[in-house]
Structure 1
Amino acid sequence: MGPAHRVREGRTTGLAGGRAVAAGSAARTLVAAIARALRGTDCADLGHPGPLLRLAGVPESVRRAAVARAAGRVALTGGQAAEVDAGQVARWFADQYPRRRYPGVLLGSPHGAAAHLALALGVPWLPAGFELSVHWPQGAVDEPQAALDHGAALTARLLKDNPDVHIRQVHCPATRGALAGATVALAARWRRLPAAYLRFLADCLEPGAPVLLLCDARTWPVFDSAPGHSFQVGCPSSGLDPVDFHPDSPVLRQVLRSSGGDGARWCPPEAVGSPRAAEHAVEPGFEQSVQQWAVVHRCSSHRMLVPNPAVLSAATADLYRHWLRAAGKTGNRLVVECGRLLDPWQVVRAGMVPYWCENATQRSVEGVEWWLAGSEPFSSVDVLPEPPGLRSPAVAGLPQWLAVAGFGRRRRALDRSAARGYPVTSVPTRRATEVLRAQSYDLPTPPPMTIAAALAVLRDAGSHQGLLVS
């Protein structure tokens, strides 16, 4: 590691790590949930910013304005974005975990099932990147070219002191609604293991402990704006296809109308780019540095290549059923989580099987429906749909969520608080804790699985769906 890199990791003028990471982003939520679970506590203190709980019945224009104002209160200014220190962000993630020796570690792409897998193994999870939300003054949801221009200027300043990250900018009104016109979304991905991670691995892993890297393998058309900065219009988690973001798409017009935009103004960059790894992928250099670390420290390294989130969710749910039954429990009670609505500690405390939906899109819900249709029946099914806070033709309706709950033989429960005002309201992360706390205890909790045993179950459960475990 060169001297310049050491200076960057140690500089004290950068924006504090916790302030830099976007509020409510996947990596932030997952690290918080896993760190609490490893301490034996739940997510009762985790909220979600925004005033949407109070705005279910107001006109769309008023609601969109309130969303933009709320985003403005938590987003970074351009000057703050330039002060972000990716090294401090890595340290902030690592410092959330209890300092003790762990039998392994998970790293890589964000996925709710990783939280449950980490707790079953008794190991931490460290993200391969993080998200930033930055003000876009006079922005417009229907002007992706203007978003690119603004994001390129922000990224150039950010990369000046952070050459070890790649910035993927995502302009997606289907997932962010009016926020796509008030802020720009930047996904920063480390090109190698940051120094704080290297210290954490050296200090907190048992000798020879294995390392497991989780890689999101989804692709999307990507445009290279400049060295270190790439741009994509739309994203896989939207529940739409790249063609749906074409100017002539009726789906796009519907999305923009719901977000306060005008389809006639939509003019994406001419060079739309070729399909490449989407925003939550792991940088090749990061993966290489993980492998190199494992070789130097004489431990095994493994990779899980996930073609879509439903595959890992299903395999992890099957793993939990296997794990619970090996400990003498029934494994017949299911909780279907969604987005930020998860609590790994309460799931284990109640002896439940968790299935995580990435979001409330029809595709995500269809994934759990197909898995349930092919699984041994569950006696109870509790469903926690996270309202996306916007309307989109890709969002699942409440009848589809009710159909998921209907797979329960005795108990079929759809959380009423999440359903109230769906899909335009918002509920805090702690709502999952409140629902799961009401479940009966099933103690003691099972002893942690070994990584070797877990990988064997995951290979068996997920290989036919394309989950590659090596």
Structure 2
Amino acid sequence: MKNPFNKAIGHMPPNFTAGFDSGLGFVTALSHFLKGEDFEGLGTMPAIKPLASIINLLPRKLRETLYVESTGAEGINPNETGSIEAEEFSKAVVNMYPKRKYPAIIIGSSSGAVSHLAAAMGIPFLPQTHLIPINRPSSLSVDDPKATMEWGIPSGEALLKNNPQLKLHFMMDPAQDRLTLEKVGFFRVKMQRVDLAYERFIIENLQEGGTIIISNCERKWPVTTINKRFSFQFGCVGGADQEDYFQKTDRTAAFLEKYNANVRSWDPPKTDSHQPESEWGFDPAISDDILRIAKDNDYGVREWKFEDADDPSPFVAELYKWFYHKNGVLTNRLVVESFIMHDPYWMLKTGSIPFWMKFNMETSAARLKEYLEKSDQYDEIYLMLFSHGTEGIGFTGIEDWKKIIGKSRYKNDFLGVDTEKFPWDLGSMIMYNKDFQEKITDRYTFGTPLTFEKLDGFYLEFQKNSPFKDRIVMQTLKEGGQLNNTSKPTISNPSE
């Protein structure tokens, strides 16, 4: 099966998309929630659930091979990039969402925390960025960024020639994506303007006087400019620091030695500027088009601005806790998500409070630990961990994760994680959904969605009192007409 999302979506994404793309993953989970549907294990078919435990019985080397081959199967021929019509991705995204009038629509940077905000408000999210995986030749070393950049230039130029609305960020990360890089390269493209599919969806589904919300992650990364619409990014946000990628550090040397690499540091192309980070960063070039659409249709425009993709996570967790209590859901259970292991449906169905981490490394662990230390103690904490088959720089092991979630008052556990297999726990991508349902037995019905009035009120209090008040800025860029929230209910009340 080319893309594990195909069966779940019901609308076939174009063959140049990747099932492990964060933006597509959040859209798929959120769209299922807005339709009142479960999103089983990253959208894989329920029939393959029994395979999860079998996969983890395989020797580690075979599991690594399975991971490499399954992600490699997502790649396209580098000679075919010139035939890609990128708007097909936008068409697939909007076709996932139910067609009805929404009080607001989010567009911009992907973030699991923003996706949970969208779920609470009952509104869609349209990603600016998506991933196009390109088949890499086996002769190309995963530790040679200069050769990799040169190899990707012809395919990138062909892609851009046929898609003038895009900017291409060719990303390579041999620390976190070491296994995946054996088969595919990462072309991440950012829309420079709102294409016809997105614009039509906004106009047809945003209610009169509604609001377009810009999700603006300001994270940047040093890049090598190939041309004005094409750059090469070596490394990315996660466990390794920028100096680990660009300098000779002890951590990099130890990592490369562990993986029997022929080098003890990397020699990337010289960088010449900082640009929006390839996966999470927002490119403001699209803003003019958003403002044009808003002006032409009398929509309001708001901006949610944050430095890192997981910066809004403390705000969203506290918001859910507050809104649950306002609606009579007296819950004190935190569910921590990791990367694309993300489930807004069961989060709300079980009355659980979400805390999203962008990955599984020490930076994510530190942020979760900080939140738990500065917030009221939770009765229960559950944790999902994305397995990517590599003990990368900044890797955080199971025992450290156990200590962190051990800060709960009564109970803590993992969802879908085989603690003996992590980070080679391929079954976790299927099992987290099953564990969510079986280990957390509370059930609630979906009631009234979160309104802007309530969101704004909570935000003001958060800005006054929270130690995380600087993590997210919410501001109005343009006033629209009066909102009347008639969206389908999407937030939890206790079931009778």
CA distance in 2, matches of 1:245, 1:346: 38
Q: Structure 1 stretch 427-436 or stretch 222-231: which is displaced more?
A: 427-436
Report the counterpart of residue 26 of structure 1 in structure 2: 22
The amino acid across from 1:69 in the alignment is E
Contact 2:276 2:283 in 1 (8 A): no
What does 1:246-325 correspond to in 2, within 5 Å?
246-259=246-259, 261-264=261-264, 266-269=266-269, 271-279=270-278, 280-325=280-325
Give the letter aligned to residue 20 of structure 2. G
SS in 2 for 1:316: helix
SS in 2 for 1:469: strand
* CA spacing shift, 1:258–1:159, aligned 2, 3 Å: farther
Contact residue 113 and residue 310 of structure 2 kept, 8 A: no
CA shift, 1:224, in A, is 0.6
Change (3 A) 1:267 1:355: same
Query: 1:241-297 deviations in whole A, cap 9, x for unaligned?
Result: 11111352232233334555322583211x223333211222222122112212222
Consecutive unaligned residues of structure 2, counting only runs of 5 or more, are 1-11, 476-496
Do 1:223 and 1:272's aligned partners in 2 also have CA atoms closer than 8 Å? yes
Partner of 2:150: 149
Partner of 1:330: 330
* C-alpha distance in structure 1 between counterparts of 2:64 and 2:437, whole Å: 33
Residue identity matched to 2:117: L
Q: State the Cα distance separating 1:65 from its structure 2 match.
A: 4.7
Instruction: Report if the CA contact (8 A) 2:134-2:186 is conserved.
Output: yes
Question: C-alpha separation between the residues in 2 aligned to 1:147 and 1:360?
Answer: 26
Distance 2:412 2:140 in 1: 44
Q: Residues 197, 319 of structure 1: CA spacing in aligned structure 2 closer, same or farther, 3 A cutoff?
A: same
The size of the alignment, in residue pairs, is 452
Alpha-carbon distance, 1:347 to partner = 0.8
Where in structure 2 are the equivalents of 1:61-100 lying within 5 Å? 65-100=65-100
Contact 1:17 1:89 in 2 (8 A): yes
3-state SS, counterpart of residue 175 of structure 1: coil
More moved, 412-421 vs 341-350: 412-421
Q: Distance in 1 between matches of 2:58 and 2:393?
A: 20
Q: Secondary structure in 1 aligned to 2:391? A: coil
Letter of the 2:226 partner, please give it.
Answer: S
Contact 1:324 1:446 in 2 (8 A): no
Question: In structure 1, what is the Cα distance between the partners aligned to 2:157 and 2:85?
Answer: 14
Map 1:190-209 to 2 at 5 A. 190-209=191-210
After superposition, the C-alpha distances for 1:348-377 in whole angstroms (9 at most, x for unaligned) are: 011111111111011101111111111112
The one-letter code matched in structure 1 to 2:236 is C
The SS at the match of 1:29 is helix
Query: Is 1:211–1:300's contact at 8 Å kept on the other side of the alignment?
Result: yes
Cα distance change of structure 1 residues 122 and 341 upon mapping to structure 2, 3 Å threshold: same
Residues 273, 64 of structure 1: alpha-carbon distance in 2 compared, 3 angstrom cutoff: farther
Please name the residue that 1:13 is paired with: none
Q: Partner amino acid for 2:407?
A: F
Deviation of the 1:55 alpha carbon: 6.5
User: Match for 1:469 among 440, 463, 474?
Assistant: 474
Tell me, in whole angstroms, the C-alpha distance in 2 between the residues paired with 1:429 and 1:451: 34
Q: Is residue 210–residue 451 contact of structure 1 (8 Å, CA) maintained in 2?
A: no
1:35 alignment partner in structure 2:
31
Partner of 1:173: 174
Mapped partners of 1:96, 1:288: distance in 2: 26
**Structure 1 stretch 432-441 or stretch 247-256: which is displaced more?**
247-256
Q: Is the 8 A contact 1:258 1:392 kept in 2?
A: no
Q: Indicate how the Cα distance of structure 1 residues 163 and 156 shifts in structure 2: closer, same or farther if over 3 A, else same.
A: same
Partner of 1:221: 222
- Classify 1:436/1:68 alpha carbon distance in 2 versus 1 (closer, same or farther; 3 Å): closer
- 2:115 & 2:173 partners in 1: Cα distance? 26
- 1:419-448 per-residue CA deviation (whole Å, 9 max, x = no partner) reads 230112323544332122122234233410
Equivalent position of 1:390 in the other structure? 390
SS for the counterpart of 1:156 is helix
1:349 corresponds in structure 2 to 349
Root mean square deviation, CA, Å: 2.4
| Structure 1 unaligned spans of 5+ | 1-15
Deviates more, 1:39-48 or 1:135-144: 39-48
Within 1, Cα distance between the matches of 2:173 and 2:245? 9
Q: Following the alignment from structure 1 to structure 2, what is the Cα–Cα distance between the partners of residues 134 and 172?
A: 14
Partner residue, 1:235: 236
Cα distance in 2, alignment partners of residues 262 and 459 from structure 1: 54
Change (3 A) 1:418 1:292: farther
Work out the CA distance in 1 between the residues paired with 2:357 and 2:393. Answer: 18
Deviations 1:291-329 (A, max 9, x none): 221222212111111112332111111110111011011
Residues 45-54 or 87-96, more deviating = 45-54
- Partners of 2:252 and 2:234 in 1: CA distance: 11
Q: 1:340 to 1:265 in 2, by over 3 A?
A: closer
CA contact (8 A) 2:417 2:428 kept: no
Contact 2:252 2:393 in 1 (8 A): no
1:108/1:360 Cα in 2 relative to 1: closer, same or farther (>3 Å)?
Answer: same
1:46 and 2:45 aligned = no
The share of aligned pairs that are identical, in percent, is 21
The equivalent of 2:478 in structure 1 is none
Contact 1:247–1:263 under 8 Å retained in 2: no
Asked if the contact 1:173–1:255 (Cα under 8 Å) also holds between the matched residues in 2, the reply is no
